[in-house]
C-alpha cells in the first residue's frame, strides 16, 4: 500500500552529485519530494540517508513502495 497519492506514483528523475549525502522522504508527507523536509515528525517513519555513489541522473522512488529505497524499482506500475 502506497503512502502517497497517485500524483507521485512515478519515479522522480534528478541529478545527484557523487559523494553528496541526501535524505529521501520515506513517509510521503514532505513538500520537497523526493527529499525530506521534516514532515515525518511524530509519524514513526524516518527518512532514508544515502550517499550518491556517482554523479548523474538517478530515479528516486515517488510512490514509496520500492523495495530498493530510495531508488525506483518499478513498484509504481504494479
Provide the domain count of the chain.
1
Residue 39 belongs to what domain range?
A: 1-71
pLDDT tens readout for residues 27-64: 999 999 999 999 999 999 999 999 999 999 999 999 99
- Does some domain include residue 76? no
- Does some domain include residue 9? yes
* Chain centre to alpha carbon of residue 52: 13
pLDDT for 5 equals 47
**Across residues 71-75, what is the average pLDDT?**
94
- Does some domain include residue 36? yes
Residue 1 pLDDT level (bands cut at 50, 70, 90): very low
- Does some domain include residue 64? yes
Report which of 35, 66, 67 is spatially closest to residue 76, judged by C-alpha positions: 66
Q: Going by C-beta distance under 8 Å and a sequence separation of 6 or more, which residues neighbour residue 28?
A: 2, 3, 4, 8, 64
- Does some domain include residue 77? no
Amino acid at each position: 500500500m502506497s503512502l502517497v497519492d497517485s500524483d507521485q506514483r512515478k519515479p522522480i528523475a534528478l541529478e545527484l552529485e557523487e559523494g553528496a549525502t541526501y535524505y529521501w522522504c520515506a513517509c510521503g508527507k514532505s513538500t520537497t519530494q523526493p527529499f525530506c523536509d521534516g514532515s515525518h515528525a511524530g509519524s514513526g517513519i524516518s527518512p532514508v540517508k544515502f550517499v550518491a555513489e556517482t554523479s548523474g541522473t538517478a530515479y528516486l522512488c515517488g510512490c514509496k513502495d520500492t523495495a530498493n529505497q530510495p531508488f525506483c524499482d518499478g513498484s509504481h506500475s504494479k
